[in-house]
Structure 1
Amino acid sequence: MAPTILTDLPPELLDHVATYLPTAQSISRLGKASKSLHAFVEKDAWQTFTRTRFPSLHTNDPTSHKDVARCLTTLSRAWDRRAFNARYIEPQGDIRAHPGDKRLERWKRPRGQTIGFTPQLDVYEDIGPRWQDREETLAFSAGAEVCVRKKRRRDGRENVRWMTYRPLSAYEGRDDVTTLHLLRPESGAGDVGTQRLITGTANGDLRLLSLPEGPNGEVPITFFITQGLPVRSSTLLRARSEPRLLAASLGDSRINVYSVDPSYPKIGPSSSIEIRPPQASNAEQRARHQRIWSTQFLSPQRLAVGIGPSDQPIHVYDLSSSGLHQEPSRRVGLQNKNLEISRVDVSLSVPATEAKKPSSSIYPIVPLPHSSTQGTVFLSGAYDSTIRLHDLRSPRDIEQSYTDPTDDSAIYTLLPRGHEQVIAGTSRHSLLKVFDLRLGAKCYDYLDVANTASERPASNEKQTRERKDWNLFLKPHGTSNTSAAGRRGSYYSRGSHESSVYSLASPSSCSPFLYAGVENAVVELAFTSVLDRHPDPAYFLPWRQQQQHRSKREGSEVLELAMYDQTAGNVKLYTQRNLGETRRRLSGNPVGTRTLEFPRVEGGLDERWRVGSSGPG
């Protein structure tokens, strides 16, 4: 009788019913009730589910809303369980070096400096006719060289090609790449097969490259005029409906805005401004060196600049058809004006209202994605280890602050996952921090549909389980493991163990891949469980098929990392088990007589995690 009643409902009421269904399983069961409900589920209900349960992560891709729902629910489960596999990546296999279009047998990393290279990252992905058909393009810098990887995925299998570019006259240190942007190909632009990217260097070169080489054997280059000033940072306006614009900070105080057009050999700035510190009131302030640290387009009409040290380290400039305005439309401070300063020198009896304003430098600025606020809501990361949420529609400077009570490292890079989480790279210990932006509110929880003994929560776990902020060390915790770090410790372990996390990138909000640049290496995190019998087919094969298609070398490269929750006074370290040991949980021991079972980790964490051990499991 129930299906009959449902089929009599108008589509708008059926859509309203779908918003109350908490899991993909419940949507699927609704579609099995009748033919008409099946048609409704395939046409509308899956899209309603992703929009309701993943409001800031869903995509309007028309290929298959059912596939999008599977992708997001699988990815949400992996993030909740902190299930991922980490690898170092570098050019290997099919490598073409430019200029010259030479085939390399082996890629050689930069040499000749006392420290390793500091990678700059960018990545995007394109979806083919089917949701499962996609191509990911990743680029990272290695000293003066740029490495580009094209990875095509189809039915869980991958085809990988690498390109590298290094100017013939480049020297390590002097010509190191400091900024990097990938340009997505424009539809109908006739650049099929061409990958364009923008690089800026410490030597003052800012150029647009087109790879591979042109018909005359040379790499087409467009130069942006910088007057020889070092390129400190840059931001690319990616809105497809708007002209492509590039804003770059040059030297310590100049911002140039350029139009991006590969048909020109040279491009001068369309507008330029100088950002000078305010008039100093005493000798100490005059001696303080203030500079630009970051630039970021918030929208086609708004540019944010991070400076410091300053008590108002964020400047927001309006951008119009006449160019960049010379004066900021808003200066953003580090605390709200109506709040008193908590730390005051009591011995001097200084009133809070007269105390010195807090001063710091702002490194990354990132707008929150999928926002209808036209670039008014953004996050900033500071030298004082605090991440701040700002809303330009509000008179307050800060809407929310995120701090880690266990570590006070400076924030070097930020990567939001919709409005759900923000991942932060820090200045010390190769430390990655994950903060929950939702203040505990969840629209979807994989425990609602958990139906296996390893995933089913205890009777009170679902009610008491809270979303926690957590930290991850992007360095292998074991010294005797067979990972790439152990085998190549001469350059990986020294460069990445106490490194900063210089850059972060992810292809899209639906992608399970996260890339991090540490000293002398790039780390890939694939968010999936090695014991998942039904992983996302758009990205991964079932683990038994992975055994057949992977090489021994690929399997040994999976790293064993460590992490802990951000709980002051009660820090508990978790370490990852060896990949082979974990897989034997399903395949049995070498004799095959029984299946290994691991002690269950509290909080529903992935099977690879264990408490406190750093040796072999």
Structure 2
Amino acid sequence: MPSSALTDLPPELLDHITTYLHTASSISNLGRVSKTLYAFVQKDAWATFNRTQFPSVSPVTPPSHKDAAQTLTALSRAWDRRAFMARQVEPHGTITSFPGDNKVETWKRPKGQTIGYTPHLDVYEEVGATWRDRREVLAFSAGAELCVREKTSNGEGEKVNWTTYRPLSALEGKDDITTLHLLRPSPDSKENAPQNLVVGTANGDLQLISLPKGGGKEVIKSYFVTQGVPIRSSSLLHHSDSQSLMVANLGDSRIALYPVNSDTQKTAPLCEFDVHGAPTSGHSKKRQRLWSTNFISPQHLAVGLGPSQEPIHIYSVTPTGIKTEPTRTFGLQERHNNQLDGIVKAPTSSVYPIVPLPPSSASDSFVGGNIFLSGAYDAVIRLHDLRSKRDVEQVFIDPTDDSSIYSLLPRGQEKLVAGTSRHSLLKVFDLRLGAKCYSYLDATQETTGALTHQTHSPETMNWNLFARPTSTNRHRNAESSVYSLSASSPHSPYLYLGLESSVVSLAFTGTMDRHPDPVFFHPWQISKKGKGFVNDYGAREVANLAMYDQTPDMKLLTQKSILDTWRTAKGSGRQPSADGSLVEGLDERWKTEGTEGQWRQSQ
């Protein structure tokens, strides 16, 4: 079609044509045809590309849809190639310590317990006037201590500030933090406004804490009335235009709903009640307890409990509180061979994490707070729909490992990341709900005219990661659970994991990528001394991890060091071995190690 014919088309038809352009280079080439089409691409085409190719992870209104497309395509490629770098996250540099507003150079790990601390995580990000202007705030617990990192960047460099808070009278074990939430700042907040957090502890304290910035010396605290009952879990319902709400699980069976207001010194619950699960059957008479509470929408609260035949309860949230009787309970019925008529008797189990499925820009009505995921003691992840008569719509099972599911994090409607109860094992599932549209292989074929064959079957899209370094680390327990998972947004390349006595960051980017996403990363370069590599991470070490596909042969892959990877790529005496140690289609750091069982025994 001549360019003049294209420019004569109405915007609606041009936008429809754009939906058939599956690569960023196609959109860019369209903008080179004429000034008219260039204007169309800048105004509309990039937004359409993001919406159609990344319907569940695309940001709604980024400052630049073109820059957002670069981030989304780079991140998708990194996930497909399993290209990431792992680092342990802990306070370093100059740390502001409260109470007292003291400056310390070295962070001291919690001591005094026979087992390590359990980190609880929360993180959010703000995008500034440009796509590169960003502020990320990460908070995690370390026993009784609260650690907060504020990272600001503009694509050229970044600035990191660490703040810690530990009450003077806190005792390890007794006063450990059991739940925390970062409160998002209001749109009119000043740059040096205090960071507000909600923190619950094992001794029954539930507080709103304001950590000062800009020279403040006092930590301001307000209290939620709990009668001293231990805080087991909580969930925060953020409202940008009205008061936020928080629900807390007190003890083994009690639920309390609170308004969140930093101007109130003491806050009583709007309502509270006890949750009683369905009785267990047969010889099992274990005591039931609540394990999790989570808002799956502004109208619905989900509660996970057990052991029970109906371990999921859904409660209606109203303007006056929470209805004390569940509107629905879910059992754990499963389908055989994905056939709807193959229903088996519901098992008795406990449900730990419950998370809502994120909406899609292409199908908001499909989700709408009705669809959610649960993880259970029986190692099964289930997808549920409030509108369906069935208890379970779909199950996600790893045939290679039967660890209980302790944490869940959907990445849009494309992938699901699950943390397990042992081996520091992280599981990645392909949700296959129709949200995965973009493929970097299409872009490769378009730019080179040739394409190396790579199979993406359901089996090879599901994989497991040992989220601890292969080298010995005295601070990391080999049998640790993955207690918590968090990410600031579906399009962020950073994923944070809470392991025993450790927080690990996974940054999804290619090792040898000469043109990484400039919003978050700079190309790796050899240091001036020739002994290592540096980039926007600075000098902090990159861990080497291990993974395997959820397939019967369970062939283990391990990551080489950055330096060894660079030497292999440059051909400086370290070439791929004859046994195929470099894995086609994956990041250059991966090499074949053996079987998962052999490796685990050697550890």
User: What is the identity percentage for the equivalent residue pairs of Structure 1 and Structure 2?
Assistant: 54
* 1:335-414 superposed matches below 5 A: 335=333, 357-370=346-359, 372=364, 373-414=367-408
* 1:556-595 superposed matches below 5 A: 557-567=541-551, 569-586=552-569, 589=572
Partner of 1:482: none
After superposition, the Cα gap between the structure-2 partners of 1:263 and 1:4, relative to the gap in structure 1 and judged at 3 Å, is same
Amino acid at match of 1:251: G
Partner of 2:415: 421
Partner of 2:515: 534
Amino acid at match of 2:481: S
Amino acid at match of 1:490: R
After superposition, the Cα gap between the structure-2 partners of 1:212 and 1:564, relative to the gap in structure 1 and judged at 3 Å, is same
User: Is the Cα–Cα contact under 8 Å of residues 121 and 180 in structure 1 kept in the other structure?
Assistant: yes
Aligned length: 582
Amino acid at match of 1:528: T
After superposition, the Cα gap between the structure-2 partners of 1:87 and 1:189, relative to the gap in structure 1 and judged at 3 Å, is closer
CA distance in 2, matches of 1:547, 1:151: 26
CA-to-partner distance for each residue in 1:95-152, whole Å, 9 max, x for gaps? 0001100111200010011111110000011111110110110000000001000011
CA distance in 1, matches of 2:57, 2:540: 33
Partner of 1:16: 16
CA distance in 1, matches of 2:406, 2:449: 35
User: Is the Cα–Cα contact under 8 Å of residues 429 and 462 in structure 2 kept in the other structure?
Assistant: yes
5+ residue gaps, structure 2, are none
Say whether residues 1:476 and 2:469 are aligned partners: yes
After superposition, the Cα gap between the structure-2 partners of 1:11 and 1:115, relative to the gap in structure 1 and judged at 3 Å, is same
Deviation at 1:490, TM superposition (A): 2.6
User: Is the Cα–Cα contact under 8 Å of residues 278 and 308 in structure 2 kept in the other structure?
Assistant: no
Partner of 1:27: 27
2:314 to 316, 340, 348: 316
User: Is the Cα–Cα contact under 8 Å of residues 414 and 433 in structure 2 kept in the other structure?
Assistant: no
* 1:59-208 superposed matches below 5 A: 59-189=59-189, 192-208=192-208
Deviation at 1:243, TM superposition (A): 2.1
Deviation at 1:555, TM superposition (A): 4.6
After superposition, the Cα gap between the structure-2 partners of 1:29 and 1:313, relative to the gap in structure 1 and judged at 3 Å, is same
CA distance in 2, matches of 1:273, 1:557: 48
CA distance in 2, matches of 1:462, 1:336: 29
User: Is the Cα–Cα contact under 8 Å of residues 440 and 467 in structure 1 kept in the other structure?
Assistant: no
Partner of 1:3: 3
Partner of 2:324: 326
5+ residue gaps, structure 1, are 343-354, 480-485
CA distance in 1, matches of 2:43, 2:272: 50
2:503 to 505, 522, 526: 522
Partner of 1:346: none
Deviation at 1:239, TM superposition (A): 3.3
CA distance in 2, matches of 1:431, 1:231: 26
User: Is the Cα–Cα contact under 8 Å of residues 422 and 434 in structure 1 kept in the other structure?
Assistant: yes
Normalised TM-score (structure 2) = 0.91
Deviation at 1:190, TM superposition (A): 5.2
Deviation at 1:374, TM superposition (A): 2.9
The 3-state SS of whatever aligns with 1:252 is coil
The 3-state SS of whatever aligns with 2:461 is coil
Amino acid at match of 2:141: S
The 3-state SS of whatever aligns with 2:69 is helix
User: Is the Cα–Cα contact under 8 Å of residues 200 and 206 in structure 1 kept in the other structure?
Assistant: yes
The 3-state SS of whatever aligns with 1:44 is helix
Say whether residues 1:609 and 2:603 are aligned partners: no
User: Is the Cα–Cα contact under 8 Å of residues 409 and 427 in structure 1 kept in the other structure?
Assistant: yes
User: Is the Cα–Cα contact under 8 Å of residues 413 and 435 in structure 2 kept in the other structure?
Assistant: no
After superposition, the Cα gap between the structure-2 partners of 1:211 and 1:464, relative to the gap in structure 1 and judged at 3 Å, is closer
User: Is the Cα–Cα contact under 8 Å of residues 94 and 160 in structure 1 kept in the other structure?
Assistant: no
Deviation at 1:193, TM superposition (A): 3.0
After superposition, the Cα gap between the structure-2 partners of 1:584 and 1:290, relative to the gap in structure 1 and judged at 3 Å, is same
After superposition, the Cα gap between the structure-2 partners of 1:609 and 1:191, relative to the gap in structure 1 and judged at 3 Å, is closer
Say whether residues 1:304 and 2:302 are aligned partners: yes
CA-to-partner distance for each residue in 1:279-336, whole Å, 9 max, x for gaps? 6788x56x42001000000112211100101111000000112211010001011016
Deviation at 1:4, TM superposition (A): 1.4
CA distance in 2, matches of 1:38, 1:281: 67
CA-to-partner distance for each residue in 1:226-282, whole Å, 9 max, x for gaps? 001000000000232342000000001100000000001110100111112346788
CA distance in 1, matches of 2:56, 2:293: 24
Deviation at 1:539, TM superposition (A): 0.2
Normalised TM-score (structure 1) = 0.89
The 3-state SS of whatever aligns with 1:74 is helix
* 1:47-58 superposed matches below 5 A: 47-58=47-58
The 3-state SS of whatever aligns with 1:193 is coil
Deviation at 1:218, TM superposition (A): 2.2
CA distance in 1, matches of 2:446, 2:564: 21
User: Is the Cα–Cα contact under 8 Å of residues 54 and 435 in structure 2 kept in the other structure?
Assistant: no
Amino acid at match of 1:158: E
After superposition, the Cα gap between the structure-2 partners of 1:236 and 1:456, relative to the gap in structure 1 and judged at 3 Å, is farther
Partner of 2:273: 273
Partner of 1:351: none
Partner of 1:432: 426
CA distance in 2, matches of 1:553, 1:215: 28
User: Is the Cα–Cα contact under 8 Å of residues 383 and 392 in structure 2 kept in the other structure?
Assistant: yes
Deviation at 1:192, TM superposition (A): 4.1
